[in-house]
Structure 1
Amino acid sequence: MKIAVVGASGMAGSRVVAEAASRGHHVTAVFRSTPPKSPHPGVEIVRGDATDVDRMRAVFAGVDAVVGATRPEPGAEATVAVTVTALLGAAAGLRVLVVGGAGPLRSPSGGLVIDDPAFVPAEWRTIASASTTQLEACEAHPGDWVYLSPPAILEPGVRTGAYWRGTTTILSAAVAIVDELENPGRDQHFTVGY
């Protein structure tokens, strides 16, 4: 499979690049400002901005699937809906997996995680709200997309290779992302844990 990973030098994107490459997929690693630190053999590294639709269309030519693992700079959270809309438009006709945020997940209390201070402290509320808006932008788009809401706390850790859909390490989340691309599930919005 040919996979483009947008946001390839970030915490999630870099792990997805590594996981997909380790499984023998051809990966195009797209970065905006800082190239990936340790490129993997056979990975094509390309500069590009997710909001540049024409550039992204050119990058996506010949790929089978796209992973959008972009994150805004602090203070630029309002840009996530525009970014994901541009990405989905550029990837028209392709499977797109968006690595989002935990804000739109259901809380055990019955509401959304964003509304539960036990899961989203005040200092995380802005990015959690942005992830909720990001999912809404996906839902308004007619394309073939799936949205992964990782747990509210997603940290570096050991790759276990095990997870359940439904807290996990970023390496296990990368396993889930590539699994979803290889064998799409029926849900457009899912989470994983371990």
Structure 2
Amino acid sequence: MKIVVVGAAGMVGSRVVGEAARRGHDLLAVFRRTRPAELPPGVTAVEGDADEPGRLAEVFRGADAVVAATRPAPGDEHTFPATTTALLDAAAAARTRVLVVGGAAPLEIPGDPGRTVLDSPVYVPRQYRDIAAASAAQLETCRAHPAADWVYLSPPAVLEPGERTGAYRRGTTTLLTEADGTSRISAEDLAVAVLDELEQPSGERHFTVARRDPAGG
């Protein structure tokens, strides 16, 4: 499978590149200004900007799938919907499906239907509210796009570098929590979930994952 990863230098994108290379896929790693210091053998690095849909459409052409793992810099959260639209436009022009790695904010809180993670200061402390709101707007941008073939992955409340176990739990539009109420996954295992979805599409538009609950399987 030929896969293009946008945001390849970031925490999630770099791990998606590593996981895809591990599985033997043909990869293009798209970076903006900061070229990844190291790339697995066989991975081609391409300079590109998510805000240049014409250029990206050419990069995407012929790919089986695109992974959009971009994230705005602090203070630029308001640009996220426009950047997402540009990525979706490029994927639609190239007739390539795109998996958008977004945020947990749009997920419903377990046991509280209709209330989302964005509404909870427990899951979204004040300092993270801007990026959380931007990720909720990002999902709405995907839903409003008229042509792109997209799927949106919401990580759990805590996403950070860690161990690749190769195991995770999968859900749909409700936050997955552990017995103690926490919600987390390593970036490495999120990448596993991304590649699993690319290799065997579920047909769902919005899904989430979380690590295996040590207390509950």
- TM-score (normalizing by structure 2): 0.88
Q: Is the 2:61–2:96 Cα contact (8 Å) retained in structure 1?
A: no
Which runs of 4 or more aligned residues in structure 1 lie more than 6 Å from their structure 2 counterparts after TM superposition? none
Match 1:171 to one of 179, 184, 188: 188
Residues 41-88 of structure 1, C-alpha deviation per residue, up to 9 Å, x if partnerless?
A: 000000100110111011112111000000000000011110111001
Asked if 1:159 is matched to 2:161, the reply is no
2:143 to 135, 139, 143: 139
For the aligned residue pairs, the C-alpha RMSD in angstroms reads 0.8
Please give the alpha-carbon distance, in whole angstroms, between the structure 1 residues aligned to 2:157 and 2:32.
Answer: 25
Shift of 1:37: 2.0
Deviations 1:129-156 (A, max 9, x none): 0000000000011321000111121011
Unaligned runs of 5+ in 1: none
* CA apart distance, 1:33: 1.1
Written as runs of structure 1 = structure 2, the 5 A alignment for 1:1-194 is 1-92=1-92, 93-108=95-110, 109-110=112-113, 111-141=115-145, 142-166=147-171, 167-194=184-211
Task: Kindly name which structure, 1 or 2, has the bigger radius of gyration based on alpha carbons.
Answer: 2
**% identical equivalent positions:** 60
Give the number of the structure whose residues are more often strand, by fraction.
Answer: 2
Residue 12 of structure 1: CA displacement?
0.2
Please list every run of 5 or more consecutive structure 2 residues that lacks an aligned counterpart in the other structure: 172-183, 212-217
Q: Give the residue type in structure 2 aligned to 1:118.
A: V
Question: Hey, what's the Cα distance between the residues in 2 that align with 1:77 and 1:37?
Answer: 26
**In the aligned structure 1, how far is the partner of 2:157 from the partner of 2:148?**
26
Distance apart, 1:186 and its partner CA:
2.4
Q: Paired residues, what number? A: 194
What secondary structure sits across from 2:160 in the alignment?
A: coil
